[in-house]
Amino acid sequence: MYGQLGDGTTLPRSTPPATDLLGGAQAIAAAWSHTCALMTTGGVRCWGDNMYGQLGDGSDASPRLEPPTADVLGGVQGIATGCGYTCALTETGGVRCWGYNASGQLGDGTTSDVWTPPTTDVLGDVKQVAAGSSHTCALMTTGGVRCWGGNMYGQLGDGTTSGVSAPPATDVLGGVEAIAVGYDHTCALMTTGGVRCWGWNGSGGLGDGTTTDLWSPPATDVLGGVRAIAASYGRTCALMTTGGVRCWGYGTGALGDGTTTDFWSPPTTDVLGGVAAIAAGENHTCALMTTGGVRCWGDDYWGQLGDGTMWYLPTPTPVVWTCD
């Protein structure tokens, strides 16, 4: 609908294209309706919906149907895309965000949208940045976690439900290896291989066996032996050190267990093995196999599974994500 595929059209695809739409990229990030590429030169280029200036080209024109030919920012080592906004991790460890800012998710101390990448960092000494619906989290080089933006469900982890428009000065959790941000919840992969999540828990995505929201990071892991994590709408997935995948939370078929039932705790068995990396979309999940292949499951209404069909798995209530 917004040109996020970058092929010059607004038509959905049910199979992967046969040709590249952009070359020279080293990493990509995809959100609700826009896509960004981190070039091997350290530049950032984005396309798709631009309603809030998330493409960073100085306008709110929408949409851009193809990747631009020029970078909007250079000197970048990592990127993250949220609902209507984009964040960059600079080569010096700084965080800069632009686009939608109604909840203060850009971290600049305001709630005003920004149409171009800022020239100064909102936070330094950062190892990883992750973006969600209305909140942003940073993994510090020290292993601490700091989050800002919307906090209706306690997803910032500061023990409150009050939002903040600038990064806090203290960590809410330490000893963290990686972070993943869902729609309204946050998860941390501990250096010990454990998983801890907080925020919205209406579908059991925190994995603690309940549907009660948590306003602070829990003191114990819900799962161990994990190598990587991914989070989306009410759902969390773990890539085990053995190469297996386990998902819990909102049961749209994206858990991979053959049902559409919510699951409030991490399962005890893998739904797939031989996996090298995982990614979670709104209602679907994809795995990069160790063989280099890709396998996806869940909702296929827009052809996101890439299997040549647009078969929509029955779900309890189809979810339409918004930025608030």
Taking alpha carbons only, the member of 267, 272, 271, 228 closest to residue 248 is 267
Q: What is the pLDDT of residue 311?
A: 66
Per-residue pLDDT at 21: 82
Least confident of 35-39, 104-108, 305-309: 305-309
Tell me what the mean pLDDT of segment 106-119 comes to.
Answer: 98
∠ CA(236), CA(17), CA(23), 5° rounding? 90
Cα–Cα distances in Å, from 34 out to 18, 103, 250?
A: 21, 19, 23
> Which CATH fold would you assign to the domain 25-298?
Methylamine Dehydrogenase; Chain H (2.130.10)
Where are the domains positioned within the chain? 25-298
The mean pLDDT of the chain is 91
Q: Any bridge partners for residue 95, and if so which? A: 89, 123
Per the CB < 8 A criterion, the answer to whether 63 and 48 are in contact is yes
CA separation for the pair 226, 237 (Å, rounded): 10
Question: d(Cα 105, Cα 309) in Å, to the nearest integer?
Answer: 36
Write out the two tokens for 165. Answer: 């428009």
Contact assessment for residue 116 and residue 53, using Cβ atoms and an 8 Å cutoff: yes
Mean pLDDT within 255-271: 94
Give the model's pLDDT for residue 294.
87
Phi, psi values for residue 10, rounded to 5°: -115, 20
Whether the model clears a pTM of 0.85, i.e. scores above it, the answer is yes
Q: Give the strands of the sheet with 275-280, arranged side by side.
A: 275-280, 284-289, 294-298
Residue with the bigger pLDDT between 197 and 313: it is: 197
Predicted local confidence at residue 314, as pLDDT: 42
State pLDDT tens for residues 7-22.
777 667 666 778 888 8
| Confidence band, pLDDT 50/70/90 cuts, at residue 303 | confident
pLDDT exceeds 50 at position 203: yes
Among the ranges given (15-24, 109-118, 305-314), the one the predictor scored with the smallest mean pLDDT: 305-314
